[in-house]
Structure formats: structure tokens, C-alpha cells
Amino acid sequence: MTSGLYGTPWSLITSEETSYSALASVLMGKLYLVNEHTDEKLTIAYRAVVVGQGKGLPVGANWSKTSDPSGDVDNVIGVRGRRTFGWPAFPCYGYMLGMGASLGVVGSIMGMDVTGGGLSIAFFGGLPFAALKLWGLGRGALPGIGIGGGPASFSLVDD
């Protein structure tokens, strides 16, 4: 088999997330995906513990809903010669890397519907077999900016 990366037919429909920070961040969310060839849908729940560097208070909370703007930069990327991305690949462990910023209560005072946003990459598998680059907007309790990464667990949610 040849090695390398390839695009899969899986793309992000929307996402939702809640995160809490106190020196490290705990993320909980869901990724809603669709196979563009078969219309099969996957809902993947994730949890991650992330550490990194930021500016702002050492505590915070951020959240987004499925109705908030979010999307993928490209379809799920697979790694040739490794597990195929799809429902048989879950549950699995992996990693989340991300960066985000929030205006927090300042944005709320200014009447903004969403007060923060971020860019993330989800790596599926301890030795990754697939990855998804995504972005999303949401709300933050406090102003700040940060970048970080850490281990994650991914599992399927029955719809």
C-alpha cells in the first residue's frame, strides 16, 4: 500500500461544544458529519483535556450550539494504510489542537450574538488515521485568547 494522505467523503455539517478553564481546559462537544457519497450521518461525541498558553483570566467558560456558525476547512483527511474513517473506527482516542479568542461579556454588552470563535484540528487515533480541521463561533464568559492541545476521546452517539 502506498502511504500518504487522502480526502474522504466525510464533511462537517455542524458542531457544538462546551469548555471550562482553570489553568487547563476541559472540552465536551459533538461533531455532526455526513458522507457526501451515501448521505450516511455520524455524530461523534468528544471529550478532551487541553493545556496551552493564553492571555486573559486563568478561569473561563465557552459554549456553542449547533445553530451557531461552524464548518470544516476541508473534508476529513485519511492516512493511507491505516484504519478507514467511518463508524467502525469508533470509539477511539486521539488529540485536539486549537486556538480561540473571546470578547466575553464585553461582546455581550456591545449586543453581539456570538462573542468568540476558534480553529481546531481533531486527530482520530493514538497514531492518527484521520484528521478534521474545523472552525466555529460561539460565546465566552470572559475575554481572552489562547492556543493549546491535549488528549481526547471520541465515541459515536446514536441518533
3-class secondary structure for the chain? Answer: CCCCEEECCEEEEEEEEEEEEECEEEEEEEEEEEECCCCCEEEEEEEEEEEEEEEECCEEEEEECCCCCEEECCCCEEECCCCCCCHHHCCEEEEEEEEEEECCHHHHHCCCCCCEEEEEEEEECCCCCEEEEEEEEEEECCCEEEEEEEEEEEEECCC
The tally of domains found in the chain comes to 1
C-alpha to C-alpha distance for 68 and 115, rounded to whole angstroms: 11
Query: What mean pLDDT is reported for the chain?
Result: 92
Q: Write the pLDDT tens digit of every residue in 106-120.
A: 877 788 888 899 999
pTM equals 0.91
* 21-78 tens-digit pLDDT: 988 999 999 999 999 999 999 999 999 999 999 898 888 899 999 999 999 999 999 9
Query: With 0-12 CB in 10 A as exposed, 13-18 as middle and 19+ as buried, what is 22?
Result: exposed
**Which residue is it, cell 496551552?**
52
Residue-range definition of the domain harbouring residue 115? 5-156
Cβ(144)–Cβ(55) below 8 Å: yes
